[in-house]
Amino acid sequence: MLKVVENLKVLYRYRVLIQSLISRELKARYRGTVLGFLWSFINPLLLMIIYTIVFGFIIGPRDPAFGSNRVLYALFLFCGVLPWSWFSSSSIESANILMIQGNLIKKVLFPAEILPVVVVTSNFIHFLFGLPILLAAKLLIILFVPQAPPFSLYLALLPLVMFVQFVFSLGFGFLISSLTVHFRDIKDILSNLLTFWFFATPIIYPMTFPAIQQSNLFRFFLNLNPMTHIIQGYHDTLFAGRPPDWLHLGGTLLFALLLFWAGHTVFDRLRDSFPEEV
């Protein structure tokens, strides 16, 4: 446990480097594109439109919670998809980052744990860019759809949910990035796992869905998934405007911290092998 604290200090010492690597990442991502930073807004917008068309209009909301209001369902979807894409792209990028930046690890004295931190944080910033779109969409929907849940003070708890997800993503990122150095096929396993994970998380369906409520087995498994509670947190604070489920969110935070510790420990143990293996 002490080791983790020690290493957090290292991260703090290198904060300027982390900061400039993140800004480099953000700058480089849209360098050369015509729309530039606008893509950070356009991407989630397009995503929302696709989900709305497919799940709102073609398949249609089947949950009584939304009545038959497609727009409301689209908002619900967006509240889950946005944080999910933060998590999934952080994980996929983490899996590759040590190999991509292998030159740094091999040729420069460079604390490798910075790299997953940069990945998770820069994706977090992209997530933040999408947030205004989400809030604007919610505002519009409140204006035009009478049964839409209004903004509430619980929105202020959103950062807490983000924090839980941040810790969880980082822990997962540490674990994935260090293991992928030795097992290259984690990359492929991961992309499949994430598809499965996406559907095993209440993003396109609410937990209140009848099929889930009727089956103890489903509920049990969904509750085992930490992302369930994180996404639920977003749904609660952002969509429904109610307090999050403190017990579940707290438990998830504990689990996230544990994963962070475990991920970091694995990372630390494998650290010396990176320069040879990447």
Q: Which stretch binds other proteins (CB under 8 A): 23-31, 70-78, 121-129, 148-156?
A: 23-31
Nearer to other proteins, 2 or 109 (CB): 109
Candidates 9, 27, 62, 242; binder of other proteins (CB under 8 A) is 27
Q: Give least dist CB 106 to other proteins, A.
A: 7
Nearer to other proteins, 72 or 112 (CB): 112
Q: Which of 77, 80, 41, 38 is nearest to 56 (CA)?
A: 77
* 35 sits near other proteins (criterion: CB under 8 A): no
Element (H, E) at 202: none
* 196 sits near other proteins (criterion: CB under 8 A): no
Q: Which stretch binds other proteins (CB under 8 A): 19-27, 132-140, 200-208, 210-218?
A: 19-27
User: What φ, ψ does residue 223 adopt, rounded to 5°?
Assistant: -70, -25
Q: Which stretch binds other proteins (CB under 8 A): 20-28, 65-73, 132-140, 164-172?
A: 20-28
d(CA 176, CA 174): 6
Candidates 21, 120, 161, 256; binder of other proteins (CB under 8 A) is 21
- Write the CA distances from 99 to 7, 55, 126, 184, 268, integer angstroms: 22, 37, 23, 10, 17
Alpha helices in 101-185 (DSSP H): 102-107, 114-144, 158-182
* 59 sits near other proteins (criterion: CB under 8 A): no
Please say whether the beta carbons of 163 and 254 come within 8 A. Answer: no
Nearer to other proteins, 58 or 109 (CB): 109
* 272 sits near other proteins (criterion: CB under 8 A): yes
Q: How many residues of this chain interact with other proteins, rule: CB under 8 A?
A: 25
Q: 146: burial class by Cβ within 10 Å (0-12, 13-18, 19+)? A: exposed
Q: Which of 236, 77, 88, 248 is nearest to 158 (CA)?
A: 236
Q: Which stretch binds other proteins (CB under 8 A): 71-79, 165-173, 250-258, 268-276?
A: 268-276
d(CA 204, CA 212): 13
Q: Annotate each residue in 110-149 with x if it binds other proteins (CB under 8 A) or - if it does not, as one string.
A: x---------------------------------------
Q: Give least dist CB 4 to other proteins, A.
A: 20
d(CA 26, CA 40): 10
Q: Which residue has the tokens 């800004």?
A: 23
Candidates 36, 60, 210, 275; binder of other proteins (CB under 8 A) is 275
Which residues does 170 contact at the CB level (< 8 Å), separation at least 6?
116, 117, 120, 260, 263
Nearer to other proteins, 156 or 272 (CB): 272
Please say whether the beta carbons of 100 and 21 come within 8 A. Answer: no
* 101 sits near other proteins (criterion: CB under 8 A): yes
Nearer to other proteins, 75 or 98 (CB): 98
d(CA 66, CA 60): 11
Q: Report the interface residues with other proteins, using CB under 8 A.
A: 16-17, 20-21, 24, 27-28, 31-32, 101, 103-104, 106-110, 183-186, 189, 272, 275-276
